[in-house]
Chains A and B, each alone.
Chain A
């Protein structure tokens, strides 16, 4: 239970960075931290105490595994998170070339 709450605290730190920071790159960093917290939550739910990694070994045939299904879901989520971050950074670069700054207050006043 405590580790779920610590994971939620990580999520809230990332959410604070997205909402309250004025720099665009800090917002991208906040999105990254949110992705880490969400991926970790899936794996925390699927953990079994005393379980092994879900790979069959040659010798021992009766094993207790951790849940492999959340791991399959999070594997795709990590790579998609990279694609999302790359697109956000690309948009930030274009904004910088158009307005000359990363600060959203100045961008809002410079519009047009």
Chain B
């Protein structure tokens, strides 16, 4: 239990460093450290499926961020943020934390999950689905429709990226300048 707090403090320090650093490459590396802390948290909270997925997705995200933006020679120092926005945000954060504290008291205490819906899944995985991994049985057999929705969202995002990044390769557009707004 104590190690959860240690990793959580590491993640918070990493996030603060990622936001406040002025160089872009250092910020992206700090976000990578936060993602690694999250992977360790998933392992400590007994979710190995999520730890594997989070690790490889974090690697891919870092590779895309570094290759696509830092290579354009823009990792210079950026100007500081406005002081009034910081003050307004602190006031909002205090109010938000108080309201969230009132709301979180309704959630069961940490470590005492109710699991009223999952008893059916745990009881029926070995007998009906005959799979050993309960999470795989949930996402592909009991709730397979949600996985179909997620595959659709991934497909849409891939098409959207390809549509946004299309070159001005069509023949007539080469002579035209950037479109006016």
Enumerate chain A interface residues (CB-CB to B < 8 A).
1-10, 12-14, 16-17, 19-23, 25-26, 28-30, 32-33, 36, 39-40, 43-49, 51-57, 65-69, 71-72, 74-76, 78-87, 89-94, 96, 98, 102-103, 111-112
Q: B151-169 interface mask toward A, CB cutoff 8 Å, 1 = contact, 0 = none?
A: 0011001101100110000
Which one of B74, B110, B157 contacts A87 once the chains associate, using CB atoms below 8 Å? B157
Q: Chain B: residues with CB nearer than 8 A to chain A? A: 1, 4-5, 8-9, 11-12, 15-16, 18-19, 24, 27-28, 31, 34-35, 38, 41-42, 45-50, 53-54, 57, 60-61, 64-65, 68-69, 72, 74, 78-79, 81-82, 85-86, 89, 93, 96-97, 100-101, 104-105, 107-113, 115, 117-118, 121-122, 125-126, 132-135, 138-139, 143, 146-147, 150, 153-154, 157-158, 160-161, 164-165, 178, 180-181
Is B8 touching A29 in the complex (CB atoms < 8 A)? Answer: no
B79 and A90: CB pair below 8 A?
A: no
Closest beta carbon of chain A to B60's beta carbon, Å = 6
